[in-house]
Amino acid sequence: MDDRAGTTLHTGLLILTTAVIAWISGLPMLFPSLGPSAFVLALFQDSDATSPRRVIGGHAIGVAAGLLAYHLLATGVSMTSSPPPGSIEGLRLAGSAVLATMLTAGGMLATDTRHPPACATTLIVSLGLLSTVFEGVLIALTVVVLVVAHQLLLATERAGARYEKRLRS
């Protein structure tokens, strides 16, 4: 299979895993930063960029930073509807987003868990979209599911390649 088709299929299968769990459970296990994470995992496969430590660690830092910023600055406000221009609520959300993004970037750099999609996760949390501790834990667990699915896909792919090689011999 050509790399483009394989990467496309791999990305889709990763999102399918969390989509099915979200559908069956009714839990918010599909959120925007999963798409870029799935693509990075599929595109770079076994590189440092896709190490479980980086992917899970980056998102965990993003969740923690987002929860901290949101609960410090914007508790009770959410971007589900736009706050009025120049409002205190809008300022609180903007401050929460800036603080969370800075904490996430600094945290990932300090711990060598750089995973750019985690900056989207921190915005999701800090803007009040998934901002409870339960939702934060659920985000982290969903990322673990994504990484495990990726590892299983890679193992299946390797096993298939070995089997194909034996058939040719």
Position 45 scores a pLDDT of: 83
Can you give the residue range of the structural domain that contains 122?
Answer: 3-168
DSSP 13-34: HHHHHHHHHHHHH-S----TTH
pLDDT in tens, 79-96: 998 899 999 999 999 999
Look-up of token digits 């750089």:
114
Position 162 scores a pLDDT of: 58
Position 3 scores a pLDDT of: 86
Position 165 scores a pLDDT of: 59
Position 62 scores a pLDDT of: 98
Please give the model's pTM, rounded to 2 decimal places.
0.90
* Residue 80, number of CB atoms within 10 A of its CB: 8
Position 40 scores a pLDDT of: 96
Position 47 scores a pLDDT of: 86
Note whether 130 and 76 are within 8 A (CB).
Answer: no
For the chain, residues with pLDDT lower than 70 are 1-2, 159-169
Q: How many domains is the chain built from?
A: 1
